[in-house]
Amino acid sequence: MENVHYVNTGDNGRGETKKENVPSGGSKIFMLVGVSFGLLCIIQAALNVSLRLQAGISNKIPSNVTMMSSDDISNLIMERDELIQETNQLNQDKNLLLQMNSQLNEIQQQLNREKATLVQEKEQLKREKATLVQEKEQLKREKATLVQEKEQLKREKETLVQEKEQLNREKATLVQEKEQLKREKSTLVQEKEQLNREKEMLVQEKNQLHQDKDQLEKDKKELQGINTNQQLQIQELRAQNTAPNAQGCPQGWVRFQLSCYQVSSHENTWYFAKQDCESKGAHLVIINGQQEESNIRTIGSFDFSGVTMWLGVSSHYDPDTYSWIWKWVDGSWFNNPEIFQISHLPGSFAWCIYLHTPVHNGLIPDNCQALHYWVCEKELQSSPFRLK
């Protein structure tokens, strides 16, 4: 027989039953009984052989007494005694084996009864286990449902709390709006009265505006006349400056006060512009005031609608102050920031200054290798400026 052993192993939270074939106590008893019967049969066969030999010897002794010696007779007697002892021993062993066989039968019957009881208990445990597994799964489902309901209740609670807070805020807002409406109502009443007063004032202002309009039309006509005169003056100035040696300036140069000015026809670097002016016996323009700056912008707008022009100022490193400073091409320092506003101070390399016409946005620094137009300046009378 086989004794079935069930082993629970964890797999996804569920027990699995494994079956092992292990020899049971009943199987061992049956094996022992079989061996005992085998030994009993062997003993019985040996006993039968010894009895037959003894009977044969007894039958032959009378007829052969005269033929056997005393030694042979003694040996036979000894053999007989030994066989008798062996027979007695075998009978004892037989009785012992019979007793053991009877005990084993009783044990086997007891084991069979216990086995039947255990089988019943096992089946009962299986049924109880199945019931417990079902109850466990049911409890799991109920637990999951309760967890979901708990989370849902939490969310609903949070929503209700938020709605409550929102309602409180809306209530406070409505109270404030109510108070605000009261104040606005009072203000509107005051504004209505104010508007009535302003209406009367607007009627008066309307009449005044009609009068101002008539005056502006008169002023417009006067300004148009002035503008026409200025255009004629500009044309006359151009004609004068294009004539050879006009007022002491070379042809193509424009005079302002005691200097002649010329705007380049193309763009180039600051260094090229400086060298070009010096080759003409002039220098890059040096601005001595806002009036001259305004004149330079006007000259730059004669031939261009808007142009950037190099001026005669660049940055130099000052070893005394360990910093970069602005200097004009005549060596003088640029030290009048109230008149000429530069967007920022020079940095850690050479910068030069250009002017953008006709936009009045100050002087603008740029890399000296950048490309711009330029303005050359030549003095009509003696000047402290020396070409270098």
- Give residue-wise pLDDT tens across range 330-357: 988 876 555 455 555 555 567 899 988 7
Q: What is the pLDDT averaged over residues 203-230?
A: 76
> Is the pLDDT reported for residue 29 higher than 90?
no
Q: What is the pLDDT averaged over residues 39-49?
A: 77
Q: pTM of whole model > 0.95?
A: no
Q: Which two tokens stand for residue 262?
A: 């010329």
- Of residues 385 and 228, more confidently modeled: 228
**Per-residue model confidence (pLDDT) at position 303:** 55
List the one residue out of 284, 281, 282 whose CA is nearest residue 268.
Answer: 284
**Per-residue model confidence (pLDDT) at position 151:** 94
What's the distance, CA 95 to chain centroid?
92
**Per-residue model confidence (pLDDT) at position 385:** 45
Question: How does residue 304 score in pLDDT terms, banded at 50, 70 and 90?
Answer: low
> Is the pLDDT reported for residue 381 higher than 70?
no
> Is the pLDDT reported for residue 46 higher than 60?
yes
User: What residues contact residue 47 under an 8 Å CB cut-off, 6+ apart?
Assistant: 87, 90, 91
What's the distance, CA 188 to chain centroid?
55
Task: Give the C-alpha separation, 375 to 284, whole Å.
Answer: 6
**Per-residue model confidence (pLDDT) at position 238:** 57
> Is the pLDDT reported for residue 166 higher than 80?
yes
> Is the pLDDT reported for residue 244 higher than 50?
no
Task: Give the C-alpha separation, 164 to 156, whole Å.
Answer: 12
Residue 79 neighbours by CB distance under 10 Å = 14
> Is the pLDDT reported for residue 149 higher than 60?
yes
Backbone angles phi, psi at 286, to 5 degrees: -115, 120
Q: What is the pLDDT averaged over residues 69-97?
A: 89
**Per-residue model confidence (pLDDT) at position 302:** 59
> Is the pLDDT reported for residue 13 higher than 50?
no
Please give the mean pLDDT across all residues of the chain: 79
Would strands 351-357 and 363-367 be described as parallel, antiparallel, or unpaired?
A: antiparallel
User: What residues contact residue 353 under an 8 Å CB cut-off, 6+ apart?
Assistant: 310, 311, 313, 314, 326, 342, 363, 364, 365, 366
> Is the pLDDT reported for residue 314 higher than 50?
yes
**Per-residue model confidence (pLDDT) at position 31:** 74
**Per-residue model confidence (pLDDT) at position 4:** 45
> Is the pLDDT reported for residue 299 higher than 80?
no
> Is the pLDDT reported for residue 326 higher than 50?
yes
**Per-residue model confidence (pLDDT) at position 309:** 92
Q: What is the pLDDT averaged over residues 43-66?
A: 64
**Per-residue model confidence (pLDDT) at position 164:** 94
Question: How does residue 70 score in pLDDT terms, banded at 50, 70 and 90?
Answer: confident
**Per-residue model confidence (pLDDT) at position 73:** 86
Between the alpha carbon of residue 5 and those of residues 18, 23, 79, 151, 265, the distances in Å are: 8, 11, 56, 45, 112
Would strands 14-23 and 351-357 be described as parallel, antiparallel, or unpaired?
A: unpaired
Residue 347 neighbours by CB distance under 10 Å = 11
Q: What is the pLDDT averaged over residues 157-185?
A: 93
Question: How does residue 19 score in pLDDT terms, banded at 50, 70 and 90?
Answer: very low
Between the alpha carbon of residue 108 and those of residues 102, 111, 149, the distances in Å are: 10, 5, 59
Question: How does residue 246 score in pLDDT terms, banded at 50, 70 and 90?
Answer: very low
**Per-residue model confidence (pLDDT) at position 239:** 55
Sign for the CA dihedral angle at 235, 239, 240, 241 comes to positive
Residue 371 neighbours by CB distance under 10 Å = 14
Between the alpha carbon of residue 194 and those of residues 65, 154, 184, 190, 202, the distances in Å are: 176, 57, 14, 6, 12
**Per-residue model confidence (pLDDT) at position 368:** 93
- Of residues 160 and 208, more confidently modeled: 160
> Is the pLDDT reported for residue 219 higher than 80?
no
Q: Which two tokens stand for residue 38?
A: 């085998």
Could you give the 3-state DSSP secondary structure of residue 121?
A: helix
> Is the pLDDT reported for residue 242 higher than 90?
no
Tell me the CB-side half-sphere exposure of residue 278, using CA atoms within 13 A. 13
List the one residue out of 234, 297, 217 whose CA is nearest residue 263.
Answer: 297
Task: Give the C-alpha separation, 195 to 205, whole Å.
Answer: 14
% helix / strand / coil in the chain, to the nearest 5? Answer: 60, 20, 20
Residue 331 neighbours by CB distance under 10 Å = 10
